[in-house]
């Protein structure tokens, strides 16, 4: 029998107990306040990935993160029936709250005559499970695709609004990818190992770009966009443009709209175009890394030539949440390299993390420019969590440096433990908000991009 596991809120400390970094804002209760009263003592077991609760009879309940993940994956379509376990998924605590929100989110009846987002989502999932191409997909990639269908419109929960009397959900794909990442990362433990990362990010890429296929045949620059999207398969092998087209097809089949046949034809044409580009099952096999970089950055070059690499050396841009071990990785892999560290500059300039960071970033860029002018390889050490890192990469490449982005992640409990042990620990609620904004670097962003679990 399943029980609802409710997370405890942050709780006060008892007078005399030691505060952990990040708890400075918490109140403390004196012994006189609790004398003669029943109390509940909360204690965190670092790294246990375990939830503790009580049922109505007072029995202790223990639920491991792995069991919750097993229930999620076990609810996805499997041979021979290829059916979703809707009763099990709708009862799964970390997911059920989002399901209620999707069920309460309306859609424009012109495009979605079937009704709310959750009704649409179930229709999309069932349409996907019925496709022969889906059933022929390898098991790991099939799970990623099935899970992406389940979460593909989660972004509509926070983006849906009315414009001129009609319901719209602008940018629900990119927003949904972030929501899906945080849900899978924190509530299902899909983080910190290559296998977990591979599944999570394949799902998030499919969610982010699920609206793209029917529009690939419109406008200029289609070839470059296809190459750019397909390149992400190098980092997340279960993300392919074939899978993306399958999700887009199921999305239209799950919609009650007059234009569904038109969109299905566009998706079929897009699939043919992707196949002609040589990217349906994975990234395009460029002759050289430099050719790939120039083309994916927007250069007009022949993709099958091996361009001369005129870069003088490498600049490494670090990326990852506080506490993932960026400093440790640098010491282990690049001892002696000059480091432009935003954390170091904040201490040097006496700027708090909660203050405006404009002066710190400008000072860091000036130090980077000095190293670039000297053509000295160095490391840019910052969280670099969003696509804004393109500004730094652009600066480095303007000086003809070759850029390698190294993204680090670790298991969530371990991440928080490492952060708490730092002398300049970041409050946990701040890290939580940073995770909500996280966009791991995509393959097109630099000449080399690495995702590393530490």
Q: At what angle do helices 222-231 and 289-296 cross, to 10 degrees?
A: 130
- How far lies 104's CA from each of 99, 253, 257, in Å? 9, 22, 20
Alpha helices in 21-138 (DSSP H): 31-34, 65-74, 86-90, 93-103, 117-129, 132-135
Tell me, what's the pLDDT at 2?
Answer: 47
Region 243-267 average pLDDT: 97
Region 314-323 average pLDDT: 97
Is the pLDDT assigned to residue 22 strictly greater than 50?
A: no
For the chain, how long is the longest CA-to-CA vector?
80
Domain boundaries, the chain: 13-64, 75-276, 301-453
- Is pTM, for the whole model, over 0.85? yes
Tell me, what's the pLDDT at 5?
Answer: 47
Q: Report the percentage of the chain scoring pLDDT > 70.
A: 88
Tell me, what's the pLDDT at 36?
Answer: 78
What CA–CA distance (Å, rounded) separates 444 from 389?
13
DSSP calls for 129-191: HT-HHHHTS-HHHHHHHHHHHHHTTTTHHHH-EEETTEEE-TTHHHHHHHHHHHIIIIIS---
Q: Which CATH class is domain 75-276?
A: mainly alpha
Tell me, what's the pLDDT at 63?
Answer: 61
**pLDDT, tens digit, 9 for 90 and up, residues 146-183:** 999 999 999 999 999 999 999 999 999 999 999 999 99
**pLDDT, tens digit, 9 for 90 and up, residues 27-71:** 667 777 777 777 766 555 544 556 565 655 666 655 667 889 999
**pLDDT, tens digit, 9 for 90 and up, residues 381-428:** 999 999 989 999 999 999 999 999 999 999 999 999 999 998 888 899
**Contact partners, residue 352, CB within 8 Å, separation at least 6:** 346
Dihedral through CA 88, CA 92, CA 95, CA 101, nearest 10?
80
Decide if 28 contacts 12 (C-beta within 8 A).
Answer: yes
Q: Which CATH class is domain 301-453?
A: alpha beta
Lowest-pLDDT range of 286-290, 356-360, 437-441: 356-360
What CA–CA distance (Å, rounded) separates 172 from 174?
6
Region 100-115 average pLDDT: 97
Is the pLDDT assigned to residue 291 strictly greater than 80?
A: yes
Q: Report the percentage of the chain scoring pLDDT > 90.
A: 75
**pLDDT, tens digit, 9 for 90 and up, residues 79-104:** 999 999 999 999 998 899 999 999 99
Tell me, what's the pLDDT at 24?
Answer: 53
């Amino acid at each position: 029998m399943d029980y609802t596991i409710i997370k405890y809120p942050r709780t006060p400390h008892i007078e005399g107990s030691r505060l952990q970094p990040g708890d400075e804002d918490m109140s403390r209760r004196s012994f006189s306040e609790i004398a003669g009263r029943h109390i509940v003592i909360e204690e965190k077991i670092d790294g246990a990935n375990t939830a503790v609760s009580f049922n109505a009879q007072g029995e202790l309940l223990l639920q491991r993160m792995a069991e919750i993940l097993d229930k999620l994956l076990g609810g996805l379509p499997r041979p021979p029936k290829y059916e979703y376990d809707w009763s099990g998924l709708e009862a799964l605590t970390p997911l059920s709250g989002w399901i209620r929100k999707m069920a309460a989110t309306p859609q424009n009846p012109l495009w979605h005559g079937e009704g709310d987002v959750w009704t649409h989502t179930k229709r999309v999932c069932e349409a996907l499970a019925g496709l022969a191409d889906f059933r022929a997909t390898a098991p790991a990639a099939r799970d990623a695709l099935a899970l992406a269908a389940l979460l593909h419109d989660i972004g509509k929960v926070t983006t849906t609004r009315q414009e001129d009397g009609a319901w719209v959900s602008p940018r629900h794909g990119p927003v949904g990818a972030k929501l899906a990442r945080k849900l899978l990362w924190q509530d299902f433990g899909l983080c910190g190992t290559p296998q977990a990362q591979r599944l999570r990010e394949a799902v998030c890429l499919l969610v982010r770009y699920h609206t793209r296929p029917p529009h690939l045949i419109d406008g200029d620059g289609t070839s470059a966009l296809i190459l750019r999207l397909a390149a992400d398969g190098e980092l997340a092998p279960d993300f392919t443009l074939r899978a993306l087209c399958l999700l887009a097809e199921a999305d239209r089949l799950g919609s009650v709209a007059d234009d569904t046949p038109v969109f299905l034809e566009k998706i079929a044409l897009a699939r043919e175009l992707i196949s002609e580009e040589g990217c349906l099952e994975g990234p395009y096999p460029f002759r050289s890394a430099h050719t790939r970089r120039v083309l994916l950055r927007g250069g007009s070059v022949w993709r099958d030539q091996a361009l001369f690499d005129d870069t003088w050396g490498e600049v490494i841009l670090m990326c990852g949440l506080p506490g993932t071990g960026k400093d440790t990785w640098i010491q282990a892999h690049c001892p002696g390299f000059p480091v432009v560290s935003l954390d170091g500059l904040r201490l040097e300039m006496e700027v708090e993390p909660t203050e405006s960071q404009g002066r710190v970033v400008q000072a860091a860029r000036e130090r980077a420019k000095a190293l670039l002018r000297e053509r000295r390889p160095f490391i840019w050490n910052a969280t670099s969590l969003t696509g804004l890192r393109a500004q730094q990469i652009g600066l480095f490449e303007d000086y003809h440096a070759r850029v390698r982005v190294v993204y680090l992640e670790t298991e969530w409990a371990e991440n928080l433990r490492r952060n708490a042990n730092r002398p300049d620990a970041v409050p946990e609620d701040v890290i939580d908000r940073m995770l909500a904004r996280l966009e791991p670097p995509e393959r097109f962003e630099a000449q080399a991009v690495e995702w590393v679990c530490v």
